[in-house]
Amino acid sequence: MARSRSRSQASDQQRVDNGPTQLQPPAFDLQNLIGNQGVLSLLSNNGAGSQQTADACHHEVKSGETLWGISEQVFGDGMGWSDLYDHKPNKKAIGDDPRRIKPKQMLDICGLDPRNKDLSMEGYLRILKSVEKRFTDPDANGNKKSSLDFVSSMRAHYGYEGGSWEDMIPNAPNLKAPDMETNPELKLLYEANADGTLRKVKNEEGIEKLVRRKVTLPNGDPIDPGHLFTGIDAVQHPDEGGWMKAAGLVKGPGVDNQDGATWSGDVGSAIVNHNIKGQPAGKTTAQSFEDSAGKADLNADLDGVILGHRFDRKKGLTEQLQSYYLDPKNPQGYERRYSQFCDLRGLDVDDDKQLTSGAKGEIKQAVDAFARLYAVKKGTVMGGTLLHDSKSDTTKDMNLYFEKYLEDGLQKESKSTE
């Protein structure tokens, strides 16, 4: 198992440097990530626990300080150094190398809390890489888990296990999800209270769950990583058993296990849930969809399909995500997710970047297939009978929402290449 370095070692790695010497990347200290008053002192603007200038919104770098150490002072958590660096005014002041901060530089700290704001993809991958290494390191017998096993374990970590997901991805290995005791950096994937404890909210069934943080991509798009891992898993573990085979959905554009588990599932389940609850007062169907899924889920759904089809089991997951999300020279990167998704799903697009009637029909068929079966499963749980009406206004509106989401993305792609 990979061991974390001590706090002093991390500081030595990232110490202020005024010369040309090349330093090593900042190390992770996985002790005491959560639980002190650093966030509280910042939010109260009293300056306790941090060395600040008079305006309380900036930190003046002192000789010998590091981003890791400053993050510990400000946030009570050294892992927040990447959030400090990724903050636009700080990156401009520091330059291209976060390891080379200089005395008298002023860092903007107001309102930053690395456990309550969206993670940057860079920050997310730093955490994920650490967890992946520990997960895939050989055990005492020399056995090493695969990168695809890590995808399945992270899907389980985000709560996509049991119930419908086991039906849709029955071939995925039943691996234990990484836990926060042996992988304490996973705590940074969730929101925190002012005292450092992790935030919890009750879902519709009254069960308390941790509040997940979303990830923001370099272009500002949000994604929900749980949907991403589920999509990759579904494509990489095709299956012809279970209720999908009985429903005749294995072939064609329906909700086959291969890449219908997320995008059509989100639209279909939103339709069923909306029909159960009824239209909330003052909200359009599109707004209701945003509440139940939204663009963070849909972006990750499409990315999961794309990365699932391209997944290289000989390469690490983090390495592949790095290429897809952070390599600006990659012609098949995430900013072209809409056209790539349409190509992989066989959805035809006309010269005006609009979905053809045939493509819209395939989307409707896939969504209806999921919604019909989801309604049966939901009704069973609720002790009643639910039927999916494929011609209802809700169904039409939700399908139109997804179609517009795709077409808007295709238009954006087209403009960026002009």
Query: Where exactly are the structural domains of the chain?
Result: 7-119, 146-178+214-416
pLDDT per residue as tens digits for the range 24-59: 334 333 333 323 333 323 222 233 333 434 356 778
Calculate mean pLDDT across residues 328-350.
95
**Rounded CA separation 294/304 (Å):** 16
CA angle 241, 161, 3 (to 5 degrees): 125
pLDDT per residue as tens digits for the range 119-173: 888 888 988 998 999 999 988 888 888 999 999 999 999 888 766 677 677 778 8
**Rounded CA separation 104/350 (Å):** 56
**Rounded CA separation 85/75 (Å):** 13
Contact predicate 288/280, CB 8 Å = yes
Tokens representing 244? 């999908």
| Alpha-carbon 20 to chain mean position | 36
Q: Kindly report whether the global pTM for this prediction surpasses the value 0.85.
A: no
Written as one string, the DSSP assignment of 260-303 is: -TTHHHHHHHHHHHHHHH-PPTT--HHHHHHHHS-HHHHHHHHH
Q: Tell which wins on pLDDT, 117 or 140.
A: 140
Q: One-letter amino acid identity for 318?
A: T
What number of residues does the chain have? 418
Assign 3-state DSSP to the chain and report helix, strand, coil percentages, each to 5: 50, 5, 45
What residues are paired with 355 via a beta bridge? Answer: 349
The DSSP secondary-structure symbol of 206 reads S
Tokens representing 313? 């089991």
Residue 194 burial (CB count, 10 A): 15
**Rounded CA separation 102/32 (Å):** 27
**Rounded CA separation 408/411 (Å):** 5
Average pLDDT, the chain: 78
Calculate mean pLDDT across residues 88-101.
88
Q: One-letter amino acid identity for 75?
A: F
The three-state secondary structure class of 60 is strand
The three-state secondary structure class of 151 is helix
